Structure 1
Amino acid sequence: MTSLSVTLPSFGPIFRDNNFHQIADLAQMAEQAGVDRIMLTDHVVMGAHTDKYPYGPFPFPPDTAWLEPLASIAHMAAVTRQVRFSTKILIAPLRPAAVLAKTLATMDMLSQGRMEVGMGSGWQREEYEAAGIPWTERGQRLTDTIAACKSLWRDSPASFHSATVNFDDIWCEPKPAQPGGIPIWVAGALHRNNLARLVEHADGWIPPPYGNLEEVADGVSTLRDAFTAAGRTVDGFGVQGDIDAVSGDDGRPSIKASMGAAADWAEAGATTINVVMSLFCWRMDRAQAWFDDLAESWAELGLR
């Protein structure tokens, strides 16, 4: 079974006159269109050196307004009933582990078990400097934050000790609504440290952006081998596949033309197909029609 995810814009000109509250309207449209999971991106602050973006030219100037994703998800969860929520990705090391665990558990309880979270270390040094977090510790802090959150969601009281996060005999209540805690997706390439992080702690993998089918298929094979070696099954483990924007007959990005690749992503091992709305639609007055086209295209694929 393959699910449908949509990354909503939490920035940019779709919210004219700073009407960012309209992201709740987009969430309702997504839910009505049958979207399984809504995702938001994350930048706490933005420095001037966007040229350091590792995946090509960064598409936005540094003064672009970005909504904080967890607060935005809480806003959207209040006006929806079924759709799930996640991040792509939350720069987890910028947030204290105990605070993050509490925030996510609260969101999961209030949304009645609809939270997931995609975590990564980010790419911009200035965000770490502004938060007072050592840039060189980002990988270790990511691993420790994930493990600490899982400990706080599981144990009462919880104790945890690592290189960057330490606590003894503390309670983090309420626990998440979902038994076993909130599913955690880990983003990034499958280098040694990240592969170990995925095998030990993750419920799903978010491949690097702009990857192709072959890279994802190879990654799924690598994960399967690593899981087997660790005595863990890949059953139920998630893999995200991102749809590229393909032009239609009018030369403009077409969701119907782009969704033609969804079956190939599923064949490569993707368990959820992610559509980035901002690649296709930047106007609120066209959003409903875009979601209608998305729903029709998805239904025609028959991937559920």
Structure 2
Amino acid sequence: MTPLLGRQALPARPQLTIQPRNFAADDPGGWDRLVDTAVAADAAGIDRIILSDHVVFGENPEAYADPTRGGTKGGRQPTGPDGHWLEPLTTLAFLAGQTTRVRLGTSILLAALRRPVVLAKTAATLDVLSGGRFDLGVGVGWQEEEYTAAGLEFAARGRQLDHTLEVCQTLWGQSRASFESPELSFDGIHAMPKPLQAGGVPIWIGGTVQRRSMERLARFGSGWIPWGPAVADLKGGVRAMREALEQLGRDPATVQVTSYLPAIMDSDGVLDLAATVTAAPTWVELGITDFKVPMVVPAGLGPATEALTGLVEAFRAAVG
């Protein structure tokens, strides 16, 4: 039996996350803005930076809006097929060397596209070199072409993700690792160093409230990244998630939940930060532990630090 790793104790207070863009519709000519945002977040007191993932693109971006394929109704892919997209694990490793305290995560990594043994090594390495600051947020994605290009079956992506997480947790948790599944068998395998965090790298599971994703969350998850209908109806989604976990024998109080705060704009169409964060206490009562604010961070280290410091101050004034 694979050990139950990848779980964190719940934070003592609500967490504040930003998601800078590691992608661009066209060549941005450099990625200084991304680096400045990460360094500013570290200085300002932001709790977590997360980056998203695409490995390749096909020519059907409208599939993002198809819930039957894993997309979200009404959603829109932010770049075309030739958008520039930095690989998130590589980028986070670089940012780990530029920062000292902010947590670093993926939301979401298409983990099944990586060979499980290599992902286990990469995640453990990133956790060690960052001083135990890495969170692995995973999901199945929506784009069939990425699985095709990786030689994988899109229809089997759920099982492939579970298998990847099983192998990672085995290699993180066993000093002399053995594993047996229909896809893979090994015995007497050693993989060092282990992740620095006790219990291994925390795993955040992205998905809707349906049987397979809830089983994945109950088995592997430190946190839940709502998707699809659960985002549109967050209150109902959180309630349904909790009921599903209870039925699966997992205490939902041990699972963190992340969500964006709805943006409130002023009369000029600019984010009203004070008004936006006033909703946070209600969401804390709902069960949200990790908040993302849809804020455009200005270019330049100084302006970015000032803006993010203001965000932290407003957020902490609202929720403590």
TM-score by length of 2: 0.86
* Alignment-derived partner of residue 181 in structure 1: 200
* Alignment-derived partner of residue 274 in structure 1: 292
* Alignment-derived partner of residue 103 in structure 1: 122
TM-superposed CA distance for 1:254, in Å, is 3.6
Match among 24, 28, 32 for residue 39 of structure 2: 28
Q: Distance in 2 between matches of 1:21 and 1:163?
A: 45
Structure 2 residue 171 is matched with structure 1 residue 161: no
What per-residue deviation string (whole Å, max 9, x for no partner) do you get for residues 4-36 of structure 1?
A: 11111112279842x214422211111122111
Change (3 A) 1:162 1:80: same
Aligned AA (1:26): T
Instruction: Map 1:10-89 onto structure 2 (within 5 A).
Output: 10-12=22-24, 16-17=28-29, 19-53=30-64, 54-55=71-72, 56-89=75-108
Q: Distance in 2 between matches of 1:141 and 1:28?
A: 35
What per-residue deviation string (whole Å, max 9, x for no partner) do you get for residues 123-157 of structure 1?
A: 10111111111112111001111111111100021
TM-superposed CA distance for 1:210, in Å, is 7.6
TM-superposed CA distance for 1:261, in Å, is 2.5
What per-residue deviation string (whole Å, max 9, x for no partner) do you get for residues 176-228 of structure 1?
A: 00111011010010111111111111111100158557x33333333333433
Change (3 A) 1:207 1:45: same
Q: Distance in 1 between matches of 2:184 and 2:103?
A: 29
**Aligned-pair Cα RMSD in Å:** 2.2
Percent of matched pairs sharing the same residue: 38
* Alignment-derived partner of residue 214 in structure 2: 195
Structure 1 gap ranges (5+): none
What per-residue deviation string (whole Å, max 9, x for no partner) do you get for residues 16-69 of structure 1?
A: 42x214422211111122111110010111221100002223232221111110
Conserved 8 A contact 1:40-1:86: yes
Q: Distance in 2 between matches of 1:210 and 1:230?
A: 21
The secondary structure found in structure 2 opposite 1:222 is helix
Aligned AA (1:50): P
Structure 2 gap ranges (5+): 1-12, 65-70
What per-residue deviation string (whole Å, max 9, x for no partner) do you get for residues 70-95 of structure 1?
A: 01111111111111111110001100
* Alignment-derived partner of residue 142 in structure 1: 161
Q: Distance in 2 between matches of 1:238 and 1:93?
A: 23
* Alignment-derived partner of residue 93 in structure 1: 112
Aligned AA (2:16): L
Conserved 8 A contact 2:49-2:102: yes
Match among 204, 207, 210 for residue 226 of structure 2: 207
Aligned AA (2:239): S
Aligned AA (1:93): A
Aligned AA (1:266): V
* Alignment-derived partner of residue 260 in structure 1: 278
* Alignment-derived partner of residue 67 in structure 2: none
TM-superposed CA distance for 1:283, in Å, is 4.1
Change (3 A) 1:167 1:274: farther
Change (3 A) 1:217 1:237: same
Aligned AA (1:261): A
Structure 2 residue 264 is matched with structure 1 residue 220: no
Q: Distance in 2 between matches of 1:205 and 1:147?
A: 18
Match among 113, 116, 135 for residue 116 of structure 1: 135
TM-score by length of 1: 0.90
Structure with bigger RCO (C-alpha 8 Å, 6+ apart): 2
Change (3 A) 1:255 1:66: farther
